[in-house]
Chain A
């Protein structure tokens, strides 16, 4: 199966610090989606990126798709305790029928 790698695997930050997770694929992606999974919860869709170099913002979250469409990043500005969870990128096949989730980055925010 396809491998979508994310780094770092874990990140501990003080509340108010910024956080970034990176998603890398060995193949060119048609699009990429980001999900958040709270501890004990299920994945919840955050955003989708389709175009090369695309940047989208949701309040304190900034998502970027690489120019070559092989990598993506999620940046959170001034983290809050509500940001705690695991952030997954998901690579979608062209048919749209298989999602390959990345390895995830677990974010801990220390108050």
Chain B
């Protein structure tokens, strides 16, 4: 069964450094998402992406964040200058369409630790 993959599984960085989290969505999916989950808390929506542009974003997704689909398979989340509070699990997800009835398939996540 096709699945969403994410790399790396764990990223440790110093505060102020830039990080890029990578995701490979399921190949025939058109909509891509990033979520974060601070340890012990709920999953929070960051951004949705379709047709090479941001579709919607939350209040969390400020100017420090950006997303890109650099080629036909990867979908990346960049955090320009990491802060301690960016430490969290970051999940990528994809769906076949953007319909509200569509299922989202989540990747295994990247644990980001900012020191």
Query: Residues of A with Cβ closer than 8 Å to B?
Result: 1, 30-31, 33, 37, 41-45, 48, 50, 88, 90, 92-104
Contacts and interface: CB of A to CB of B under 8 A. Distances in A.
B25 interface: no
A30 B55 CA distance: 19
A99 B45 contact: yes
Interface of A is mostly: loop
Interface size class of B (residues with CB under 8 A): 20 to 34
A30 B100 contact: yes
Contacts of B101: 31, 48, 50, 92, 96
Nearest to A44: B106
B104 A97 contact: no
Contacts of B59: 1
B85 to A, nearest CB: 17
B90 to A, nearest CB: 11
A80 B4 CA distance: 28
A63 B105 CA distance: 20
Given A42-B91, A88-B42, A104-B42, A97 B31 contact: yes
A102 B98 CA distance: 20
Given A94-B100, A97-B31, A101-B43, A42 B56 contact: no
